[in-house]
């Protein structure tokens, strides 16, 4: 996406000591950044608050991450908001999260309009409570014509479930004679993933210091650079995004090959 350098410089004024906009190469910003937003519960507990307060604070970080990504000209920002395993959390927390997703999305629609952001979901949103599903569908409809950054929310998402679903869909097409077994290739698998049509993430950020994938985008992250920060998600700021991109730009990506001399 196009970068408005004036807006970007304004957005990034008042830099802390260790990082500024000059530390990143604006011509080499990753097209797709994905984030595992982790640490909301610990952030709240460290302040003597209920875990759910951490999720509320996490919404502010997410809003900032969307704006930051638009300013930096990303094509895609995706975030892991709720996994297929998160249903195991206490019912009260699950209910609160489902409600928070719906109310947040409704509240942020003006921002998506203003910034020309197109919404997308990774995961089985059909299985969500009706209120949440309805708001998500409204968000999809309302932003379908937007041509700016894609903002993808992974909700009720699990990579194993996604790959299993793709296998099932392809098997159905083979059984129906629409696809021949010898025509099943990587492109066909990709076209049956929730991420169909999007570039793979070039950079994956995980907050709160945990170093695992937690069943996230197992196919799409095959060659992605990881950046783990100890910062808890509610404290993650536009500066942390720059730190992550600076780190990414210092890597040598080889995709299984060798670096040419
Ligand atoms: C991980 O922290 C966070 C979540 C499971 C929920 C993420 C949700 C938000 C940031 C709210 C965003 C709103 C929308 C619209 C997507 P955790 O609870 O696993 O924290 P812990 O590891 O410290 O327990």
83 lines ligand 1 (CB under 6 A): no
When pLDDT is averaged across residues 134-151 and rounded to a whole number, the result is: 98
Mean of the per-residue pLDDT values of the chain:
97
**Residue 81, SS3 per DSSP:** strand
Contact indicator for 78, 35 with CB cutoff of 8 Å: yes
Encode pLDDT of 25-81 as tens digits. 999 999 999 999 999 999 999 999 999 999 999 999 999 999 999 999 999 999 999
Closest CA to 65 of 213, 211, 242: 242
Query: How many CB atoms neighbour CB 102 within 10 A?
Result: 21
Q: What percentage of the chain exceeds 90 in pLDDT?
A: 96
* Domain parsing of the chain, residue ranges: 29-158+201-249
pLDDT band for 106, please (50, 70, 90 cuts): very high
Contact indicator for 228, 210 with CB cutoff of 8 Å: yes
Q: Is-catalytic flag, 38?
A: yes
C-alpha distances (whole Å) from 232 to each of 89, 90, 163, 215 are 19, 21, 30, 20
CA 160, 162, 163, 169 dihedral sign is: positive
Q: Is-catalytic flag, 18?
A: no
DSSP state of 201: P
Contact indicator for 128, 155 with CB cutoff of 8 Å: yes
Encode pLDDT of 123-140 as tens digits. 999 999 999 999 999 999
pTM comes to 0.96
Ligand 1 centroid – CA 229 distance (Å): 16
Q: Give the CATH number of domain 29-158+201-249.
A: 3.40.1180.10
Residue 260 pLDDT: 61
When pLDDT is averaged across residues 210-237 and rounded to a whole number, the result is: 98
Encode pLDDT of 242-259 as tens digits. 999 999 999 987 888 886
153 lines ligand 1 (CB under 6 A): yes
């Amino acid at each position: 996406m196009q970068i408005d350098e004036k807006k970007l410089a304004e957005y990034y004024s008042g830099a802390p000591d260790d990082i500024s906009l000059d530390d990143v190469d604006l011509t080499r910003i990753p097209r797709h950044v994905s984030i595992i937003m982790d640490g909301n519960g610990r952030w709240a507990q460290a302040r003597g608050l209920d875990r759910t307060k951490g999720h509320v604070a996490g919404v502010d970080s997410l809003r900032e991450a969307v704006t930051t990504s638009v300013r930096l000209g990303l094509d895609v920002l995706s975030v892991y908001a709720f996994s297929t395993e998160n249903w195991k959390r206490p019912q009260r927390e699950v209910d609160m999260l489902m409600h928070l997703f719906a109310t947040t999305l409704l509240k942020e629609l003006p921002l998506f309009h203003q910034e020309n952001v197109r919404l997308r979901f990774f995961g089985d949103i059909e299985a969500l409570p009706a209120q949440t599903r309805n708001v998500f569908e409204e968000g999809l409809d309302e932003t379908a014509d937007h041509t700016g950054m894609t903002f993808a929310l992974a909700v009720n998402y699990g990579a194993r479930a996604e790959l299993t679903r793709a296998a099932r869909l392809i098997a159905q097409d083979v059984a129906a004679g629409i696809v021949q077994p010898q025509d099943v290739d990587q492109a066909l698998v990709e076209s049956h993933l929730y991420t169909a049509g999007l570039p793979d993430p070039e950079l994956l950020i995980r907050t709160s210091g945990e170093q695992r994938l937690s069943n996230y985008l197992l196919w799409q992250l095959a060659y992605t650079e990881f950046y783990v920060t100890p910062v808890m998600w509610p404290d993650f700021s536009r500066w942390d995004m720059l730190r992550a991109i600076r780190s990414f730009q210092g890597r040598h990506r080889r995709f299984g090959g060798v670096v040419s001399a």
